Amino acid sequence: MFTGIVEGTGTIKGIDRIGSGLKLTILPLFEASDIRIGDSVSVDGVCLTITKIKGNEFEVDVSSETISRSTVGLLSQGDKVNLERALRVSDRLGGHLVSGHIDGTGKILKKVPSERSYLLEIEVDEKMSRYMVEKGSVAVDGISLTINRCERNSFEVNIIPQTAKETTLLEKNPGDPVNIETDMVGKYVEKFLNLSRGSREQKESGIDRDFLLKHGFKGAGE
């Protein structure tokens, strides 16, 4: 679990293809000497496990599923990525709860300076925007941001100077893809509502566990 408060950036030092997956070698550009094998780390918002440490560098494995849902497969040697180590129980929760399980990718539509900040408009599929609300939270490349405005297929966020300094977000331009993780609370609420609605519909239709057992569905409810 993460907070979306990026600790700093790292450089991709190596990329090796292993079957349909990848092995990444990453050099943190900040003090991270206490990392251990087995630790979770957020790389541009993607939760990955450290499998090897050599000097100041560490390695992580990336599955084909993760590649299909994120921008990790587009990385090249020398690219910079946002890094955050996993949340500890004693840490302050400065952003919001971020799982590191990417919902999909978005595309930067606009990057507009606004006084000392920048406004970013990001295009997303409706299957992700349905979980977004104004003043709600979203993780973009692992960065916890507040949604200023949301439409059916896009949303807008403000990038303050501190966020720009500590992350790679403003190094990207319109047309570039970014990793998106929506607030998990919305997804749980939707599932609970659907389960409740389904239970009512089953009861009203007369199809319940007893009905299924009576008509030969032996695995029902077991």
Q: Print pLDDT tens along the chain (222 aa).
A: 999 999 999 999 999 999 999 999 999 999 998 999 999 999 999 999 999 999 999 999 999 999 999 999 999 999 999 999 998 877 777 888 899 999 999 999 999 998 889 999 999 999 999 999 999 999 999 999 999 999 999 999 999 999 999 999 999 999 999 999 999 888 888 888 787 666 555 455 555 556 556 655 555 444
Cβ neighbours of residue 86 closer than 8 Å, sequence gap 6 or more: 1, 2, 39, 40, 41, 42
Q: What is the pLDDT of residue 203?
A: 52
Give me the residue spans of the domains in the chain.
8-85, 104-185, 189-222
| Arch. (CATH architecture) of 8-85 | Beta Barrel (2.40)
User: What distance in Å separates the CA atoms of residue 124 and residue 140, rounded to the nearest whole number?
Assistant: 11
Q: What is the pLDDT of residue 84?
A: 97
DSSP strand E in the chain: where? 8-18, 21-28, 40-43, 46-54, 57-62, 80-85, 104-114, 117-123, 137-140, 143-150, 154-159, 177-182
> How many CA atoms lie within 13 Å of 47's alpha carbon, on the beta-carbon side?
18
| Arch. (CATH architecture) of 104-185 | Beta Barrel (2.40)
Q: What is the pLDDT of residue 90?
A: 74
Q: What is the pLDDT of residue 222?
A: 44
Strand partners, 183: none
> How many CA atoms lie within 13 Å of 71's alpha carbon, on the beta-carbon side?
22
User: What distance in Å separates the CA atoms of residue 83 and residue 69, rounded to the nearest whole number?
Assistant: 18
Distances in Å between the Cα of 193 and the Cα atoms of 89, 182, 186 are 30, 18, 11
Q: Same CATH topology for 8-85 and 104-185? A: yes
Q: What is the pLDDT of residue 127?
A: 93
